[in-house]
A and B are shown apart, each in its own frame.
Chain A
Amino acid sequence: MEPVLRAEDLGVGYGEQDVLENISFQVYAGDFLSVIGPNGSGKTTLLRALSGAIRARTGNVMYKGIPVRDYSRKQLAKSMAFVAQEYAFTHPMTVKEVVLMGRYPHLSRLSFEGPHDLEVARQAMRFTDTEHLGDRRFQELSGGERQRVIIARALAQEPEIVLFDEPTAFLDIGHQVDFFDLIWDLNRNRGLTIVAVSHDINLAAQYSGRMLLMQKGRVYRLGTVSEVVTEDAMRAVYGKQVLLDLNPVTGSPRITLLGRNQGAESGAVVEHRVMPENT
């Protein structure tokens, strides 16, 4: 099967500094890939390079077999959406106006949103539970509401793939779970391909299909959740002792970080560990 998105020996740098080196991986249609790694490991840079927002210094990003830089922005925005951490609107705008922005790539220069565009926007708002916010000002919403509106805008683009850049960074834990439920639903029931940078390893492990662990601008490990979230990988990348067990409900690997004085060096940790074969 032809991958939807493919990084081929991708390297990215700002000025003298190389931020990404030798990155190669594939994303297939219907994937839910979480990108994890410490701060400064290049997660966000990778996501921006995948979207064509920054140029590759070496290698290529291929989207549906064509280098991403060969797409016009408008062409790309018809099937790829990007949800960032923060949004800086200068003008006051209503939620409906914000969501309708997602129709831009489908409209010609002088045309107005037609009934079809309004319907697509309405469905996106229904799906993200933002329909009731339509006439409110975007600036007046809570963090969780804004997040959902921005996802609605991304859905209004009618994308096949959505890239999320640490979308839960400013949400409380309840809204973080809501967010993951929502994108899981998009992935499962709408067949959307998802690449999400996440700083919460446990939530990412709970929801995603595959994971990409980054370290210092390189891929440390890529594979299924249980291949990536292992004690040795976590220790090697984060430089911390971890306790690894399984989430009793979902069965996904779960980590607990241990501080310097929390018996990480003693055997106690090993005894408490619930190993996959014991469950």
Chain B
Amino acid sequence: MIAAKPRNILLVCGILSGLFCLVAALGLASGAVPLGFGRLWEVLRGSSGSAVEEMIVLDLRLPRVLLAGVVGFGLGQCGVVFQTLLRNPLAEPFILGISSGSALGAIAAIVLGLQFPAAVSVCAFGGGLVTIALILGISQGRGSMNTTTLLLTGVVLNAFFYSIIMFFVSTSTEEKLHALLFWLYGDLGRSQYLHVAAVAPVVILGALFLYGYAKSLNLLAAGDEAAHHLGIEVEKTKIVLFVTLSLITGFVVSVSGVIGFVGLIVPHLVRMVLGSDHRVLLPAAGLFGACFLVAADTAARVVIAPTELPVGVITAFLGAPFFILVLNRKGSGWSPS
């Protein structure tokens, strides 16, 4: 536990930013062509004299590391807020089916050939928003969701969305097929600076916006009724937050596909060390999420190099056992619901 004071928050952010630089450097150095840190520094400064190495680091690895960072940041924060809003420690965009809802929106945009600007991202956002509306409808505005309802809702929505996705996959032409499959598992292998530029503003502005609600989230964690009496407009706050979350999730999914479990693992680890105050938790989960996904993506690139795994394989491989652990964990301090 750590007290939510500006100095402590800056300290935590500083440490985690340092960790991110370290992990990012590791990510830039690793791969089919490994580089030492010294060599990496020369490449980054443009004094390596090797066009090939510069191309590998600056055109292939750097956009990928940056995108992994942005996506991990967004997913980590979304996990924190979902868990508080739904009052359930297992809530997370992937488990709830929101990621696949976003993926379906994105796929529909591609298959239907929608041409308006940022069509894929906008449809992914729409897919996420519709999914959240479905989840809230199923939980019938009870304010809290018990674990069984939550998990079943997620399983059913995932199954439903995947059936539609598979329909699109089965009926699509050869050249579109690869673009579609990309959504089924999270993959950062096609990262470009363009993707980073598209999603980073949403994640950064989203983070600043969410931070404005940090104290409100602390109170919502004390229950809707208590929050109401302590001065929160509960319904309005929840709607604003859910829309923000679908926006972030939608944009993140539109550049990375469905990467599961980041929003589960990251908030829990951070909460264990730093406590539950959202003023610390939100920025810390974002930064640690960034570190986590960059590390996971680096692992995805090197475990069976030169072949690369989709990063979703790594996060699911770690995430599923972690999920069981949280599910069975007694005395985690979360009140049973």
Segment from B60-68, B149-157, B230-238, B252-260 that makes contact with A: B230-238
A26 within 8 A of B: no
A193 to B245 Cα, complex, angstroms: 41
Q: Are A77 and B229 in contact (CB under 8 A)?
A: yes
A74 within 8 A of B: yes
Q: Name which residue of chain A comes closest to B1, CB basis.
A: A94
Residues of A within 8 A of B279 (CB): 112
Q: Are B222 and A89 in contact (CB under 8 A)?
A: yes
**CB contact under 8 A between A91 and B271, given known A84-B226, A101-B222, A139-B335:** yes
A203 to B127 Cα, complex, angstroms: 56
Residues of B within 8 A of A51 (CB): 229
Q: Are A105 and B335 in contact (CB under 8 A)?
A: no
Q: Are B1 and A87 in contact (CB under 8 A)?
A: no
Residues of A within 8 A of B225 (CB): 53, 84
Residues of A within 8 A of B232 (CB): 73-74, 104
Of residues 20 to 56 in A, which have CB atoms within 8 Å of B's CB atoms? 51, 53
B34 within 8 A of A: no
Contact with B along A64-88 (1 / 0, CB 8 A): 0000000011111110011010011
Contact with B along A153-185 (1 / 0, CB 8 A): 100010000000000000000000000000000
Q: Are B5 and A91 in contact (CB under 8 A)?
A: no
Q: Say which size band chain B's interface belongs to.
A: 35 or more
**CB contact under 8 A between A73 and B223, given known A90-B334, A93-B276:** no
Partner of A101, one of B84, B87, B230, B337: B230
Residues of B within 8 A of A76 (CB): 231
Residues of B within 8 A of A107 (CB): 215
A14 to B229 Cα, complex, angstroms: 20
A101 to B275 Cα, complex, angstroms: 15
Partner of B219, one of A75, A81, A101: A101
Residues of A within 8 A of B96 (CB): none
A104 to B229 Cα, complex, angstroms: 11
Residues of B within 8 A of A84 (CB): 225-226, 229
A53 to B228 Cα, complex, angstroms: 7
A109 to B240 Cα, complex, angstroms: 15
Residues of A within 8 A of B276 (CB): 91-93, 97
A78 to B223 Cα, complex, angstroms: 19
Q: Are B221 and A89 in contact (CB under 8 A)?
A: yes
A264 within 8 A of B: no
Residues of A within 8 A of B228 (CB): 53, 73
Q: Name which residue of chain B comes closest to A81, CB basis.
A: B229
B192 within 8 A of A: no
B53 within 8 A of A: no
A138 CB to closest chain B CB (Å) equals 9
B6 within 8 A of A: yes
Residues of B within 8 A of A89 (CB): 221-223, 335
B144 within 8 A of A: yes
A4 within 8 A of B: no
B308 within 8 A of A: no
A157 to B223 Cα, complex, angstroms: 17
B313 CB to closest chain A CB (Å) equals 31
Q: Are B215 and A104 in contact (CB under 8 A)?
A: yes
Q: Are B222 and A98 in contact (CB under 8 A)?
A: yes
Residues of A within 8 A of B271 (CB): 91
B49 within 8 A of A: no
B139 within 8 A of A: no
A57 within 8 A of B: no
Q: Are A137 and B4 in contact (CB under 8 A)?
A: no
Residues of B within 8 A of A73 (CB): 228, 231-233
A86 CB to closest chain B CB (Å) equals 9
**CB contact under 8 A between A72 and B226, given known A91-B333, A101-B218, A139-B333:** no
A94 to B1 Cα, complex, angstroms: 9
Q: Are B333 and A87 in contact (CB under 8 A)?
A: no
B212 within 8 A of A: yes
Of residues 318 to 337 in B, which have CB atoms within 8 Å of A's CB atoms? 332-335, 337
Partner of B231, one of A78, A98, A112: A78
A228 to B334 Cα, complex, angstroms: 43
Q: Are A87 and B226 in contact (CB under 8 A)?
A: yes
Q: Are B215 and A109 in contact (CB under 8 A)?
A: yes
Partner of A74, one of B83, B226, B231: B231
Q: Are B4 and A112 in contact (CB under 8 A)?
A: yes
A92 to B276 Cα, complex, angstroms: 7
Q: Are A112 and B6 in contact (CB under 8 A)?
A: yes
Q: Name which residue of chain A comes closest to B332, CB basis.
A: A92
Q: Are B233 and A72 in contact (CB under 8 A)?
A: yes
| Chain A residues proximal to chain B, CB less than 8 Å | 51, 53, 72-78, 81-82, 84, 87-94, 97-98, 101-102, 104-105, 107, 109-110, 112, 137, 139, 153, 157
A-B contact pairs, 29 of them (CB 8 A): A72-B233, A73-B231, A73-B232, A73-B233, A75-B231, A76-B231, A77-B230, A78-B231, A81-B229, A84-B225, A88-B87, A88-B222, A88-B223, A89-B222, A89-B335, A90-B83, A90-B84, A90-B87, A90-B221, A90-B337, A91-B271, A101-B222, A101-B226, A104-B219, A104-B231, A109-B215, A110-B211, A112-B4, A112-B5
Other 9 A-B pairs with CB < 8 A, given A97-B277, A104-B215: A73-B228, A73-B231, A77-B231, A88-B87, A91-B271, A92-B276, A102-B230, A112-B5, A153-B230
